[in-house]
Amino acid sequence: MIIHKPIVPYREHFQQEDGHILSQEDFAKFNPGRLSKEDYTKVHALMSLVCHDAIVNYQGKALLAYRREKPAQGVLSPLGGRLSKGVPLEKSLRDKIRGESGLEMEGLTLLGSQRVVWGEDPLGHGKGTDTFTYMFYGLGIGEIKLDKTLENQALLSPEEYTTEYRKNLHTYTQDFLDAVMPLITQDSR
């Protein structure tokens, strides 16, 4: 097991090899837009994907939802997904959360990271889905409106997060909630 003691602060380096600092506009040029389904299937089968997820504190409860698509279809999960290339991490996550839930995020905190390998994939290549995921926590502002990729939201209070409830969750979600529930309790005071 790797011991996680972050001593280097998270930072995004927008810099070329010659030392030239890239502006946000320069960095955005690295976003290739959408890959063809054929190209994306190849990438998905051969590489690990970088993702970002967040447990949203919505009115003192953790917002989770069931995924409609593979991987994790039918699994109660945090919100989030793939990091958008050419987009700063925080903006990419905020855009993803807004798109999935209609919520704006405040006070994003990077909690850590985990690698999750799913046995299934959404593209039918048979190689599973391998993700490296940054895990965040923050406050959700607005009214929840789940998009078509999610269904049946669950709002879970720290009191409802019992050992019995925990047993029915994916281990990734368990680890995430274990870290977040004390923060929700603290923020609710």
pLDDT digits (tens, 9 = 90+) for 83-117: 998 888 999 999 999 999 999 999 999 999 999 99
pTM listed for this prediction: 0.89
pLDDT of 77 above 60: yes
d(CA 180, CA 88): 23
Are 134 and 110 in contact by the 8 Å Cβ rule? The answer is: yes
Share of the chain above pLDDT 90, in %: 76
User: 57 pLDDT band (50/70/90 cuts)?
Assistant: very high
- Which pLDDT score, from 0 to 100, does residue 117 have? 95
Report CA 184 to chain centroid distance, whole Å: 18
User: 19 pLDDT band (50/70/90 cuts)?
Assistant: confident
Residue keyed to tokens 């990271």: 113
Which of 21-35, 56-70, 141-155 bottoms out in mean pLDDT, i.e. has the lowest? 21-35
pLDDT single digits (tens) 129-163: 999 999 999 999 999 999 999 999 999 999 999 99
- Which pLDDT score, from 0 to 100, does residue 23 have? 76
